[in-house]
Amino acid sequence: MISIAVCDDELLDCVTISAQIRTIMEELGAAFCIEQFQSGGELLKSLGRFDIIFLDILMEGMDGMETARRCRSLAFDKVLVFFSSSRDYVFDAYDVEAFHYLVKPVDEGKLKHVLKRALERQRQTPRDYIVVSRERQTRKLFLDSVRYFEIWGRQIEVHEEHEVFTWYEQIGALERQLKGKGFFRCHKSYLINLGHVEVYNRKEAILDNGERILIARRRYEEFCQEMVEYMRKSGGIL
């Protein structure tokens, strides 16, 4: 299923383009869900669950360009489409690797073309996952939706964006599976997804949903190094 976000502080515009997207996606026969946001701050709190973001530029408070920069700094590497009543920001859109730039009022033919291309890109970029077994069932665990793993002996508790569940596995085996995938053991009890870290200090990391994860004193320097390297790879640091 393709998850789409539409962000515009003008409610009527947000509703209108959402309806256009819904009509086109139904015509294309694609499985999808769509959510609306009226501010960049609201969108960033739920960033990890979206495959395609439609973002207005001229918004009060945090504008669309700044929202896009923060999206990229948080390792959102998926489809980002701007729409605006102004053409003045077309070249700025390249700085945040925008997929397309649409001018309001959005032409449905152009929007359909953008959505078809975006769907094709999603098919070519499969989500990274690991396979876990629980209660005689095997499932894919998509890593971009995981905020952190909490360790309770041999029991692993995974905190996803919409679900928490547990299974039994040795933490060493899990760490090996996650090597090079943007996770770090910041504490004996936590394996954290660096892509969901918004703020951190010597004691804790604050995630994009406000949760606070402890950082062990002896792991802090290595955590900082891993964060810097992660942001460099994801384009957050030039």
Q: pLDDT tens for residues 80-126?
A: 999 999 999 988 888 888 999 999 999 999 999 999 999 988 777 66
Give residue-wise pLDDT tens across range 3-27: 899 999 999 999 999 999 999 999 9
Contact yes or no for 215/202 (Cβ under 8 A): yes
Q: Measured between alpha carbons, how far is 107 from 112 in angstroms, rounded to an integer?
A: 9
- Domain final residue, candidates 124, 142, 170: 124
Backbone angles phi, psi at 76, to 5 degrees: -75, 105
Same structural domain, 204 and 173: yes
DSSP state letters, 162-180: S-EEEEE--HHHHHHHHTT
Question: Total structural domains in the chain?
Answer: 2
Look at phi and psi of residue 97 and say left if phi exceeds 0, alpha if psi is from -120 to 50, else beta: left
What distance in Å separates the CA atoms of residue 198 and residue 180, rounded to the nearest whole number? 20
Q: Do 32 and 79 belong to one domain?
A: yes
Q: Answer for the pair 168, 230: CB distance below 8 angstroms, yes or no.
A: no
On whether both 108 and 149 belong to a single domain, the answer is: no
Distance CA 9, CA 230 (A): 31
pLDDT band at 237 (very low <50, low <70, confident <90, very high): very low
Do both 110 and 144 map to the same domain? no
Q: Are residues 57 and 169 in the same domain?
A: no
Out of 93, 124, 155, pick the residue that ends a domain. 124
Task: Tally Cβ neighbours within 10 Å of residue 12.
Answer: 8
Q: Residues 77-81: what's their mean pLDDT?
A: 87
Cα within 13 Å of Cα(149), Cβ side: 28
Sole residue written with tokens 């952190």: 148
Pick 130 or 110 by higher pLDDT.
110
Q: What CA–CA distance (Å, rounded) separates 112 from 94?
A: 21
Residue 110 sits in a domain of what CATH number? 3.40.50.2300
H or E, element range at 32 = strand 32-37
Residue 4: per-residue pLDDT = 95
- CA gap 111, 102 in Å, rounded: 8
Please state the pTM of the whole predicted model. Answer: 0.57
What are the tens digits of pLDDT across the range 201-222?
999 999 988 999 999 999 999 9
| Residue that is last in its domain, among 124, 147, 176 | 124
Asked whether residue 136 falls in the same domain as residue 202, the answer is yes
Domain around 139: 129-234
Mean pLDDT of the 151-163 span: 88
